[in-house]
Structure 1
Amino acid sequence: MDDQNKNLILATALSFLVILVWFVLFPPPEPSTPTEDATITATESSVATAPSAADATTTGPVEAAAEDAAEAPRIDIDTPRLTGSVSLKGGRIDDLSLKDYRVSIEPDAPIEKVLYPLGSESAYYALYGWAPGSGVSGDDVPGANTNWTLEKGTTLTVDTPITLAWQSPNGLTFRREISVDDNYMFSVTQSVSNNSGAAASMAPYGILARHGAGEDADLPGLKGFFILHEGVVGMTDGTLAEISYKNVRDFDVDPNEGAQAEVFQVQENGWIGFTDHYWMTTLIPEPGSKFKAAAKYDDRRKIYQAETVLPTMTIADGETAAVSTRLFAGAKEWETIRNYERTGIEGYIDSIDWGWFFFLTKPIFWLLHEINKLIGNMGWSIVGLTLIIKAILFPLAYKSYVSMAKMKELQPQMEALKEAAGDDRQKMQQGMMELYKKEKVNPAAGCLPILLQIPIFFSLYKVIFVTIELRQAPWFGPFQDLSAPDPTSILNGFGWLPWGGPAPESIMALVFIGILPLLLGISMWLQQKLNPAPTDPTQQMIFAWMPWVFMFMLGSFASGLVVYWIANNTITFTQQYLIMRSQGYKPDVFGNIKSSFKKSPKPDQK
């Protein structure tokens, strides 16, 4: 093997390892959270501050409110994709499950639950209300513990919205109409009719509250590898904000908010909410609306809040005012979210964590999605995606492999130059450069395809790990979740025996790896055999171990990513073999394999 190829392979391996270590030790900084100095006015008063999700119009302790919420009447939610209920205590949307998703691939596994009522271990709910303005007391507006009555409807479905009503002591009548589409988007219209005998000022708000969330998302591990964002996500006039739960807890106390908070003033378009690995909730005012968005943390009660507060409205006596907002609560499906973005929700597709290489990740996912629509199997779609990527890169690969073949032809002349130069390395390098120029060979041409593979690899990693379309996506046989590590191992006969392999997070999984990582190692090993082993014993040992080290390194990665890597290695081997033969160089693969099993000489042996 010539020095150019040895250095190329070594540089590739070291580059991959360096990038892995860099991302682990020096993760990308949190995107800055934009703030704006402009104040919002409408009708034309300043924006009010929304009450705490736990304390709004509360007269007793939070524990008592939780007990009341558990006993409150409920209105069922039943759509093709959602099931749950709305509590008449506070009018909370606080019980929601996804019919299309289960917690595991077991057929009897329960469906995924997104929202939980107050009093649950991990309460998570949407709350709406009105913050009182001038001339209005807290008792005159509905809040977290208001007892609403059902005025219209029986069950919330796609075709039948529900309307809640509440009468204040001073003649203000509040209504809340809730509707839902056939996916995950709720529409909430809040209205107030003023028959109090005087003008009333108040600001409508929406709150998403999570009790005790975020601790798991802060822990290191696979979810933190290459930064999977979980926490607050929002859009402020075209600027994306991503704030981890840890950073929310580190906010300074905002005296205007009475809590640890970060406030965003939105002039035209925006939204805010919480994002998990696969699920999300967001509050979405109508496009073109001015509003205040805030991310908060109540340290005393361990409650995270994302809220929107619309401008204060002044309603004259005898008049009615209304405002509509939307609430997304469901799965982060690319096509569903893209369709919502097309209805005017600016930047909504960026609620999916596309990562640093978003300019590659987005088109790669689009292509994978379109291929899967044709094939109907994500495993084979990944193979098809690999074929397309290799076809796009083929012109560059062709030049690379042609250059490598020419380098093989120049090997005798290069050896002659080395003998003639002796220990004079400068003379040898000068002679090689003249030889390259004369024969029109670029020794660095082989690096470009591999360098391009690095961002593609990371982009596909993000696609497979982050997007819900790969979650529990089956391939064939034992491979029923391409977002999870290979479930096979020698302990279950590589999938032939009716029990699972070692747990992915266990040490056993690092030792007893599955069939896909084994195939990965073999494919890398065969690629090496296109060229003779280096004569230097140290380099020979490094290259001999490299495929097997990578095999164990990538063994715990998502199986879909390993499928891509195997397909990529197989196609690369085929391309390189055929192109080098077309240039007159015939790789002796079987001979190189045979020689690799011979005992290598010791470094001091002559």
Structure 2
Amino acid sequence: MDDQNRNLILATALSMVVILVWFLLFPPPEPPVDPNAIPAETALQDGTGENIALTPPPAGTDTATVPTETAMTEVALDESARIQIETPSLEGSISLRGGRIDDLSLREYRETIEEDAPIVRLLAPTGGAEPYYALYGWAPAGDLDFEEVPGADTPWQLESGERLTPETPVTLIWDNGAGLVFRRTVAVDENYMFRITQTVENTGDTEVRLAPYGIVARHGLPDDLQNFFILHEGVVRKVDGQLDEIGYDNVTELDFVERERALAEVVPVEQNGWIGFTDKYWMTTLIPGDGQPFTSVTRYVASADIYQTEARLPVISVAPGATGEVTTQLFAGAKEWETIRDYQNEGGIDRFIDSIDWGWFYFLTKPMFWLLHNLNLLIGNMGLAIIALTLIVKAVLFPLAYKSYASMARMRELQPEMEKIKERAGDDRQKLQQEMMELYKKEKVNPASGCLPILLQIPIFFSLYKVIFVTLELRQAPFFGWLRDLSAPDPSSIINLFGLLPYDSPEPGSLMALIFIGILPLLLGISMWLQQKLNPQPTDPTQAAIFAWLPWVFMFMLGSFASGLLVYWIANNTLTFTQQYIIMKRHGYSPDLFGNIRSSFRRKKPDAK
């Protein structure tokens, strides 16, 4: 390494040390709180989706009166009569305005790991923060018009039931005053599935034609949208066995459909399907009956910034004195693997398990998650389950790894001969390649044999990464000590010597948190450094310096990833290093972990007889 490169690296290291010492001695002060600041949410939405701007309060105003997201939602809930929802998994209410299911929270999940943290809210009414709701209705056909059928703002009345529980469904009723009586019966199970039965009774003297529908609408993008390439968030639908995933960006790029008066995609479903919105951990999905044809619609109303999914069922004819009826389902809850699997296997929802984002390598991801899930049930600790899964995967791949590392060791044994060939060939590339091939043939070595096993392992490792990142089971799963949430970054930090100094750790996701990393990122960097020591060093000094810094660069780059992923990477790197070290030692290669790797090999002498 020349003096210029050495000085650059030394200057960089010294700069990082100076910054670290500075922040240890002079920690950054807490940012001042503006007493006149208003919440980040600065707009309310009425039933039409139009924005109602809020103005900052005048100086001296009691900021407790400024609407927060929770207060805005509570005000919106009070604007209409409601029927309470209470199940072991859900709580909320149904609005009699439009019969909307627009108030729903998940009782078993909290927003943070704190015991007194509010439970996760899934659905919210218009007029509140982040409106997100499901509604049902009938579309007119024939001689009917929209005033004669129930829609988004129909004033329903409660006909039977006092509150919605798994044991007590509720029935809403609306008489249009022109011979049609509409009823809607809502039932719910102990988990997250609603059963919606819509009926229309024709008390008139002429036949009527109309079509039932269901809608899930979302005003604006969710606040917790992650926008990470490995995770799908947005529209998810199943159309006759085919899974489609449409991100929010793609929804806004749909073609304008004149009949829909919006950007839209209309897809017919012949037998089985469902459609809705999926987040990382939660989902709201419309599910028509098994074998029920319907029209699957994805819409975006740009003027109101509303994303919408619809399930439109075929037009039915109701004769005088007759009653038409249709039943559909609505899933609104957490993407629990066991729960969704049971809805698929026992409830007959076609391939519902695919609503979990298994990725391209689903044929590997699904069994890998099954194994992780059962290991967690057996061990009782998700962090240990991740380590056990990594160990099992490495054991299964050991034959490939052995072949790969043995081939690498054999190639290094030929390194002196290869250097001689390069000196003899000079700039004659043809002669170089010819003599190299003759050497490989003579020594019975295939240079590609070391690469192929590694390439075959890539889909498996990517699938394991996917499982750890997207599945609900990792959310707020504790490990040991300070690691109370494996789905969140490591909360420890160098800035307070990992809790030894009386300073707070940087806010997760901030620039400070990226620089002043925690214990797991440090262990990751060390494990990557150890693994790198077993690999051949580039002959070029500049390249060697770059490769020497890569473990520490990745240490900072990956430091903000979920703790569960870091646990996996550390365990995987440690096992890989151990395997590679033992195999290379058995083939006569002695790496020096705290110096340069020896370029010579000690061939084993035959045993004396």
Structures share a fold, TM > 0.5? yes
Within 5 Å, which residues of 2 pair with 1:77-156? 77-156=85-164
1:322 and 1:278 mapped to 2: Cα distance?
33
Root mean square deviation, CA, Å: 2.8
Instruction: Summarize deviations over 1:114-172 as a string: whole Å, max 9, x none.
Output: 11122213221111111122243433322222222222211211111111122220232
Match of 1:407 among 408, 411, 420: 411
Q: Give the conservation status (yes or no) of the 8 Å contact 2:216–2:310.
A: yes
Match of 1:436 among 440, 458, 470: 440
Q: Give the conservation status (yes or no) of the 8 Å contact 1:460–1:561.
A: no
Match of 1:171 in 2: 179
Q: Give the conservation status (yes or no) of the 8 Å contact 1:96–1:115.
A: yes
1:359 aligns to 2:363 (yes or no): yes
Instruction: Summarize deviations over 1:48-72 as a string: whole Å, max 9, x none.
Output: xxxxx9679xxxx999xx9997432
Bigger drift between 463-472 and 440-449 goes to 440-449
Q: Give the conservation status (yes or no) of the 8 Å contact 1:486–1:559.
A: yes
Instruction: Summarize deviations over 1:26-51 as a string: whole Å, max 9, x none.
Output: xxxxxxxxxxxxxxxxxxxxxxxxxx
2:476 and 2:407 mapped to 1: Cα distance?
43
Cα 1:313/1:560, change in 2 over 3 Å: same
Q: How far has the Cα of 1:325 moved from its partner?
A: 0.2
Q: Which amino acid aligns with 2:217?
A: A
Match of 1:72 in 2: 80
Q: Give the conservation status (yes or no) of the 8 Å contact 1:487–1:495.
A: no
2:552 and 2:357 mapped to 1: Cα distance?
32
Match of 1:479 in 2: 483
1:326 and 1:449 mapped to 2: Cα distance?
47
1:62 and 1:534 mapped to 2: Cα distance?
60
Match of 2:375 among 360, 371, 376: 371
Q: How far has the Cα of 1:441 moved from its partner?
A: 1.9
Q: Give the conservation status (yes or no) of the 8 Å contact 2:135–2:216.
A: yes
Q: How far has the Cα of 1:362 moved from its partner?
A: 2.6
Q: Give the conservation status (yes or no) of the 8 Å contact 1:209–1:304.
A: yes
Match of 2:275 among 272, 276, 281: 272
Q: Give the conservation status (yes or no) of the 8 Å contact 1:139–1:169.
A: no
Match of 2:542 among 529, 538, 542: 538
Structure 2 residue matching 1:431: 3-state secondary structure:
helix
Match of 1:255 in 2: 258
Match of 1:206 in 2: 214
Q: Which amino acid aligns with 1:350?
A: D
Bigger drift between 466-475 and 106-115 goes to 466-475
Instruction: Summarize deviations over 1:351-394 as a string: whole Å, max 9, x none.
Output: 22223333333332222222222222221111111111111211
1:289 aligns to 2:292 (yes or no): yes
Structure 2 residue matching 1:482: 3-state secondary structure:
coil
Bigger drift between 478-487 and 459-468 goes to 459-468
2:420 and 2:217 mapped to 1: Cα distance?
75
Within 5 Å, which residues of 2 pair with 1:198-347? 198-213=206-221, 217=225, 223-342=226-345, 343-347=347-351
Match of 2:40 in 1: none
Q: Give the conservation status (yes or no) of the 8 Å contact 1:214–1:245.
A: no
Match of 1:600 in 2: none
Within 5 Å, which residues of 2 pair with 1:460-499? 460-495=464-499
Within 5 Å, which residues of 2 pair with 1:2-17? none
Instruction: Summarize deviations over 1:491-528 as a string: whole Å, max 9, x none.
Output: 23325567752223221122111111111111121123
Match of 1:389 in 2: 393
Q: Which amino acid aligns with 2:215?
A: I
2:542 and 2:202 mapped to 1: Cα distance?
86
1:315 and 1:228 mapped to 2: Cα distance?
45
Q: How far has the Cα of 1:419 moved from its partner?
A: 5.0
Instruction: Summarize deviations over 1:435-456 as a string: whole Å, max 9, x none.
Output: 2222222223332343344433
1:367 and 1:68 mapped to 2: Cα distance?
44
Q: Which amino acid aligns with 1:327?
A: L
Q: Give the conservation status (yes or no) of the 8 Å contact 1:68–1:89.
A: no
Bigger drift between 207-216 and 367-376 goes to 207-216
Q: Give the conservation status (yes or no) of the 8 Å contact 1:70–1:118.
A: no
Instruction: Summarize deviations over 1:415-442 as a string: whole Å, max 9, x none.
Output: 4444555565544443332222222222
Within 5 Å, which residues of 2 pair with 1:494-505? 494-495=498-499, 501-505=505-509
2:409 and 2:260 mapped to 1: Cα distance?
69
Match of 1:506 among 495, 510, 517: 510
Structure 1 residue matching 2:517: 3-state secondary structure:
coil
Cα 1:283/1:54, change in 2 over 3 Å: farther
Structure 2 residue matching 1:240: 3-state secondary structure:
strand
Cα 1:409/1:197, change in 2 over 3 Å: same
Q: Give the conservation status (yes or no) of the 8 Å contact 1:141–1:168.
A: yes
Q: How far has the Cα of 1:281 moved from its partner?
A: 0.7
Q: Which runs of 5+ in 1 are unaligned?
A: 1-52, 218-222, 596-606
Cα 1:387/1:257, change in 2 over 3 Å: same
Match of 1:39 in 2: none
2:465 and 2:298 mapped to 1: Cα distance?
30
Cα 1:126/1:421, change in 2 over 3 Å: closer
2:242 and 2:578 mapped to 1: Cα distance?
45
2:354 and 2:129 mapped to 1: Cα distance?
30
1:180 aligns to 2:183 (yes or no): no
Q: Which amino acid aligns with 2:242?
A: T
Structure 2 residue matching 1:556: 3-state secondary structure:
coil
Structure 2 residue matching 1:335: 3-state secondary structure:
helix
Cα 1:78/1:214, change in 2 over 3 Å: closer
Q: Which amino acid aligns with 2:98?
A: G
Q: How far has the Cα of 1:255 moved from its partner?
A: 2.7
Q: Give the conservation status (yes or no) of the 8 Å contact 1:230–1:277.
A: yes
Q: Which amino acid aligns with 2:403?
A: K
Q: How far has the Cα of 1:478 moved from its partner?
A: 1.4
1:68 and 1:593 mapped to 2: Cα distance?
68
Match of 1:46 in 2: none
1:194 aligns to 2:198 (yes or no): no
Structure 2 residue matching 1:480: 3-state secondary structure:
coil
Q: Which amino acid aligns with 1:377?
A: N
1:346 and 1:240 mapped to 2: Cα distance?
11
2:312 and 2:532 mapped to 1: Cα distance?
61
2:595 and 2:220 mapped to 1: Cα distance?
62
Structure 1 residue matching 2:449: 3-state secondary structure:
coil
Aligned length: 532
Within 5 Å, which residues of 2 pair with 1:547-566? 547-566=551-570
Q: Give the conservation status (yes or no) of the 8 Å contact 2:137–2:149.
A: yes
Match of 2:533 in 1: 529
Q: Which amino acid aligns with 1:114?
A: L
Q: Give the conservation status (yes or no) of the 8 Å contact 2:130–2:222.
A: no
Q: Which amino acid aligns with 2:307?
A: Y
Q: Which amino acid aligns with 1:263?
A: V
Higher relative contact order (CA 8 A, sep 6+): 1
Instruction: Summarize deviations over 1:163-204 as a string: whole Å, max 9, x none.
Output: 112222023222111111111110001112221122222111
2:552 and 2:221 mapped to 1: Cα distance?
40
1:572 and 1:446 mapped to 2: Cα distance?
15
1:135 and 1:203 mapped to 2: Cα distance?
13
